[in-house]
């Protein structure tokens, strides 16, 4: 099929990551229609590395040139750009969180039911999540009993995110619960059902900056979910596990990409698992193939607006306590 034209709003970390995945791995699905970013330095950096890119002077011009718009700007601008793209008849892939506040996200989702719009939660197409679904179907865990989510960071933002620290470490839009925990809440929600926060505590030791620790008890459908996360709790840039325990066994995703099952007391990885840095562009290739399907009005596995709203509600409930 003909590749769809993808326009990108935001030339930061995620915008560049999706751009490079499209150029290097997904040319059969998408063609880059162009980019827009209000920052001259961001434009200059990418233009120097990729001089063939087409840049637009404003978001409206970019939207007009694209079939689908990927919104990778900071969260406070998501709904403005998404609304403009949908009003112009374009499809939308938006970075998470959907918005910087829940009421605005609720109004947006209610107004755009049935729209060609999705939110970029790569667990929708990740190899590790696919392996977990396979193990569930095979009965490896038996009857699911509980989920545990653990995330730890040497510092926040992570080393590779420092250029975006102005908002990633702000209380209004940033923090690891929105940026990282949300992915594992999405997976829990998709596999087991509606999220509900029963109890939570978030620690904000520095005025105006994002959280440094969270603990929460939730449910995903009927399953209890225990969440714990902290900054300065590891010497690694990023350490995370999502663990599902049942009456016959346990499986987990470790460090984003490794699907593992517990065998005689030892975690055994899926032999096909790739390190995160190798798996990530291939997962984004899958995401982009799904974006092309969505743009054509076909079925796709991407996170829906309703799913993204459910995750955002849970995250903001945790951070508000």
User: Is the per-residue pLDDT at 1 higher than 80?
Assistant: no
Q: At what angle do helices 182-192 and 305-319 cross, to 10 degrees?
A: 120
CA distances, 145 to each of 12, 113, 205 (Å): 40, 33, 34
Average pLDDT over every residue of 14-39:
97
pLDDT, average across residues 248-253: 98
For 306, how many CA atoms within 13 A lie in the half-sphere containing its CB? 7
Segment among 59-68, 156-165, 225-234, 248-257 with least mean pLDDT: 156-165
At 92-145, the pLDDT tens digits run 999 999 998 999 999 999 999 999 999 999 999 999 999 999 999 999 999 999
Residue 91: is its pLDDT beyond 90? Answer: yes
Model's pTM, two decimal places?
0.97
Phi, psi at residue 316, to the nearest 5°? -70, -30
pLDDT 10s digits, 132-182? 999 999 999 999 999 999 999 999 999 999 989 999 999 999 999 999 999
- Helix spans in the chain (H): 13-25, 40-49, 59-65, 78-87, 102-111, 127-138, 165-168, 176, 182-192, 276-295, 305-319
Token pair 């007009």 in the structure block, residue: 64
Token pair 């290097």 in the structure block, residue: 24
In order of start, what are the domains of the chain with their CATH numbers?
4-122+281-304 (3.40.50.720), 124-273+310-319 (3.30.360.10)
């Amino acid at each position: 099929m003909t590749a769809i034209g993808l326009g990108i709003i935001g030339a930061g970390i995620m915008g560049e990551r999706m751009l490079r995945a499209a150029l290097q791995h997904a040319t059969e699905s998408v063609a880059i229609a162009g980019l827009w970013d209000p920052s001259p330095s961001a434009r200059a950096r990418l233009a120097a590395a990729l001089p063939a890119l087409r840049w637009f002077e404003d978001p409206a011009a970019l939207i007009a040139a694209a079939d689908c718009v990927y919104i990778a700007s900071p969260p406070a601008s998501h709904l403005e750009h998404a609304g403009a793209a949908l009003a112009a008849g374009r499809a939308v892939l938006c970075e998470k969180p959907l918005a910087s506040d829940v009421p605005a996200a609720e109004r947006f989702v209610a107004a755009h039911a049935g729209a060609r719009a999705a939110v970029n939660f790569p667990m929708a197409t990740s190899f590790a999540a696919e392996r977990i679904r396979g193990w569930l179907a095979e009965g490896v865990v038996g009857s699911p009993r509980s989920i545990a989510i653990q995330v730890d960071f040497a510092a926040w933002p992570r080393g590779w995110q420092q250029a975006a620290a102005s908002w990633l470490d702000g209380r209004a839009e940033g923090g690891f619960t929105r940026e990282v925990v949300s992915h594992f809440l999405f997976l829990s929600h998709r596999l087991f059902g509606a999220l509900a926060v029963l109890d939570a505590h978030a620690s904000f030791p520095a005025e105006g900056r994002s959280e440094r620790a969270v603990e929460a008890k939730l449910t995903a459908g009927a399953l209890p979910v225990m969440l714990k996360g902290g900054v300065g709790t590891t010497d690694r840039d990023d350490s995370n596990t999502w663990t599902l325990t049942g009456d016959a066994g346990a499986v987990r995703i470790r460090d984003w990409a490794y699907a593992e099952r517990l065998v005689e007391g030892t975690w055994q990885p899926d032999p096909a698992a790739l390190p995160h840095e190798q798996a990530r562009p291939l997962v984004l290739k899958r995401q982009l193939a799904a974006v092309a399907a969505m743009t054509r009005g076909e079925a796709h596995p991407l996170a829906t607006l309703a799913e993204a709203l459910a995750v955002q509600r849970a995250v903001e409930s945790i951070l508000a306590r």
